[in-house]
Amino acid sequence: MPRIPRFVVTDPGQKAAYHVISRTALDGLPFGDIEKEELMRIIQKFSKVYCVDVLGFAIMGNHFHLLIEVSPGAMLSDEEVRRRFKHLYGQNAAFPEARLGEYRERFCSLSAYVKDIKQRFSCFYNKRKKRKGTLWGERFKSVIVEQGNTLIHCLAYIDLNAVRAGIVKRPEDYRWSSIGYHAQTGNRDRFLSSDFGMPDEAVETPLMRLKTYRKYLYHLGAIEKSGKASISQKVLKEETAEGFEMNRVRRFRYRSRYFTDSGIIGSRAFVETHYQTFKAHFHGTRDKIPKRVKGVEGMYSLKRLAEL
């Protein structure tokens, strides 16, 4: 069966945000502290080579998440292409001028970026474990994410992975996540974008943005304290006091799955616009209609091609 074409934004004047997810083909939780540390180092290395801004990440025991913005080739100067080439191959490497366009396209390619990360880590893991064969499962998933509220929701979903897994009680206690990296290293080497998906004019300084984001993250993370088989009297009283309105914590629970199962997610206009770009990839004559994400005002999603 032929591979389904990947959704990739090609607007030459616009950065595109993607949520990337990739899982190992191995059973259990094969990634320990050493493996997580090395995978984080590899992500940092290739994030300096490729024209990407890393907003968020989480490296778990059998998979990883990345939230990145990819710049189009038109935003990359010739000198930047040469600089990134030197960073990848060494300062003494001779740049092949005849392949300038090829390297510009590569350094702005989502697929090439993730492929390099996964291949480099596979070599490390197989050598360390004295094994051969496939490490990763199916090809990585990528979801196009709209800027604004959708982006910050997706970032929070990624940063709450370790809390949902029961590994830590506070999200910033987990070393191999973006919120952990911000809190524990002060965003060393400026590896991560410090805007947290919030517009610059909304919050003035990185520290204020971090404080605002943590407050938001903790409100959403509170949903992990629920999950009882029956509704307690406390919850019932709280719901009564709220007039049984769907608060934002409850809405977040309903929308979480859309950040991994969708092909495109955002406002209706955003999804419809990008659907037109990829319309030729779909089978059938009827237009696909974006579906509203339940519990979230103004957010829509389009299922990935395999599910259509």
Rounded-to-integer distance, Cα 8 and Cα 246, Å: 34
Decide if 264 contacts 301 (C-beta within 8 A). Answer: yes
Rounded-to-integer distance, Cα 289 and Cα 302, Å: 7
Give the best-scoring range by mean pLDDT among 90-94, 198-202, 294-298.
90-94
- Residue pLDDT, tens place only, 68-91: 999 999 999 999 999 999 999 999
Question: Does residue 94 sit within a domain?
Answer: no
Calculate what percentage of the chain has a pLDDT beyond 90: 44
The mean pLDDT of 158-166, rounded to a whole number, is 86
Which domain range does residue 121 map to?
16-72+108-307
pLDDT: which is higher, 280 or 209: 209
Question: Does residue 189 sit within a domain?
Answer: yes
Question: Does residue 97 sit within a domain?
Answer: no
When divided into structural domains, the chain yields a total of: 1
Question: Does residue 3 sit within a domain?
Answer: no
Cα dihedral 155→158→162→163 (10° resolution): 60
Rounded-to-integer distance, Cα 25 and Cα 162, Å: 20
Question: Does residue 173 sit within a domain?
Answer: yes
Question: Does residue 92 sit within a domain?
Answer: no
**Does the structure show a pLDDT above 90 at 215?**
no
Question: Does residue 88 sit within a domain?
Answer: no
Q: Structure pTM?
A: 0.79
| Residues ≥6 apart with Cβ < 8 Å to 76 | 51, 104, 107, 108
Please give the angle made by the CA atoms of 143, 161 and 164, to the nearest 5 degrees: 130
pLDDT: which is higher, 187 or 119: 119
- Here the CATH number for the domain that contains residue 163 is 3.30.70.1290
Structure tokens at 139: 């090809």
CA distance from start to end of the chain: 15
Is residue 149 very low, low, confident or very high in pLDDT (cuts 50, 70, 90)?
confident
| Residues ≥6 apart with Cβ < 8 Å to 182 | 172, 192, 194, 210
